Amino acid sequence: MMLHRRGWHPIVVEEELGLLTRASRVNQARVHGGYHYPRSLMTAYRSRHNYQRFRQVYRNAIVDQFTKVYAIGNYFSKVTANQFEVFMKRVGAPLREASGSTQRLFNTALTEKIWIAEECAFDCALLRDGLRKELEQAGIEVRVGTVVESVHPYSSGALARLSDGSELACKFVFNATYAGLNRLTSASGLPLIPLKHELTEMALIELPEELEGISVTMMCGPFFSFMPYPSLDLTTLSHVRYTPHAHWYENDETGAVNPYKRLGFAAKTSNFELMLADSSRYVPALRNAVYCDSLWAVKTLLPLSDSDDGRPILFQHDSKLPALIHVMGGKIDNIFDVEDEVERWVGNAIT
């Protein structure tokens, strides 16, 4: 939309038959407020910076009628309660001590401190409908069920070859395919982007009555989180230890593998019982949660995220084809950071 507002004529090419059906749908539906990254100042700061902006721009898709609880574990946590509080104050993420009724939901022997935070969720179905309407009103062409198979140098930009046999001459091509970034680079004879992929599971559950209207995230280590999943009127349960089922790396040495084919062929044996067994040690009422289904996805990270759990944004021109720009963010509100980068990197060309 930013390109359209500046007088350009963008075309959206989407492999699926609809928008926002992969990474934007299969996640915790959390609009990050900075709390999730107490070991990565930049990620926490940018999350807080974008939080209110996302709420305002996409307010019709925002769900905030629940209490967001953050807690620090007594054991195995990589930060203490005091460190967490100091860090959140530094990035401007408000915290207040939880009430007695909320604290009684926790096993205090395993929990150092509990707070109420300011964080919300988004309804992916409503977000998709709003974005689709916005694109239609702007007259932006959207080609679904179509893949950009390769990109090559052409005139002062790039030539994109599509799976329907057509070609598009472009000033810039934005490769925003998340887990599929290297499918395009590999097919185009370009260097691979170093990536880490994880085959992940989030359990979809119904919360027991005692926990209705509450979301809990235990920080910062091998812990759990449960968040509303508004588009299905359920709750996701995830666990740092049990949500990832496998991982692999992509780089010029390992080569590129179609991550979605790997997802399709994977044996999807749920880890829900393991997630529940550990999580309910901290929040005993969670034992009565009812399992409904699981969301399976490929989660993609930059390898340097392993050190501090940060989520830096990938935004770089391809080293051999500058008109091809690779874009990947780990959170949905990263879209605003991408807009800022587009202004800085290609603003002169767009004007």
Q: Is the dihedral of CA 115, 329, 121, 58 positive or negative?
A: positive
Residue 30 Cα distances to 320, 321, 342, angstroms: 36, 35, 25
pLDDT of residue 345: 65
DSSP letters for 283-338: SGGGGG-EEEEEEEEEEEE-TTHHHH---PPEEEE-SS-TTEEEEE-SSTTHHHHH
Exposure b/e, 5-42, CB count within 10 A at least 16 = b: eeeeebeebbbeeebbebbbbbbbbbbbbbbbbbbbee
pLDDT of residue 181: 94
For the chain, how far is it from start to end, CA to CA, in angstroms? 15
> pTM of the predicted model, to two decimals?
0.91
pLDDT of residue 39: 83
For 147-177, how does the pLDDT look when each residue is reduced to its tens digit (9 = 90+)?
A: 999 999 998 899 999 999 999 999 999 999 9
3-state helix, strand, coil in the chain (%, to 5): 30, 30, 35
> What is the C-alpha separation between 17 and 145, in angstroms, rounded?
5
**Domains in the chain, ordered, with CATH?**
2-350 (3.30.9.10)
Closest CA to 124 of 337, 297, 309: 297
Closest CA to 33 of 122, 124, 117: 117
pLDDT of residue 266: 86
Those residues whose C-beta lies under 8 Å from the C-beta of residue 205, and which sit 6 or more positions away, are 226, 234, 235, 236, 237, 272, 289, 290, 291, 292
pLDDT of residue 310: 57
pLDDT of residue 349: 54
- pLDDT string in tens for the chain (351-residue length): 778 887 888 999 999 999 999 888 999 999 999 998 888 888 888 889 899 999 999 999 999 999 999 999 999 999 999 999 999 999 999 999 999 999 999 999 999 999 999 999 999 999 999 999 999 999 999 999 999 999 999 988 999 999 999 999 999 999 999 999 999 999 999 999 999 999 999 999 999 999 999 999 999 999 999 999 999 999 999 999 999 999 999 998 888 888 888 888 888 999 999 999 999 999 999 999 999 999 999 999 888 765 556 566 788 889 899 999 999 887 888 788 877 777 776 555 544
For 180-220, how does the pLDDT look when each residue is reduced to its tens digit (9 = 90+)?
A: 999 999 999 999 999 999 999 999 999 999 999 999 999 99
pLDDT of residue 316: 86
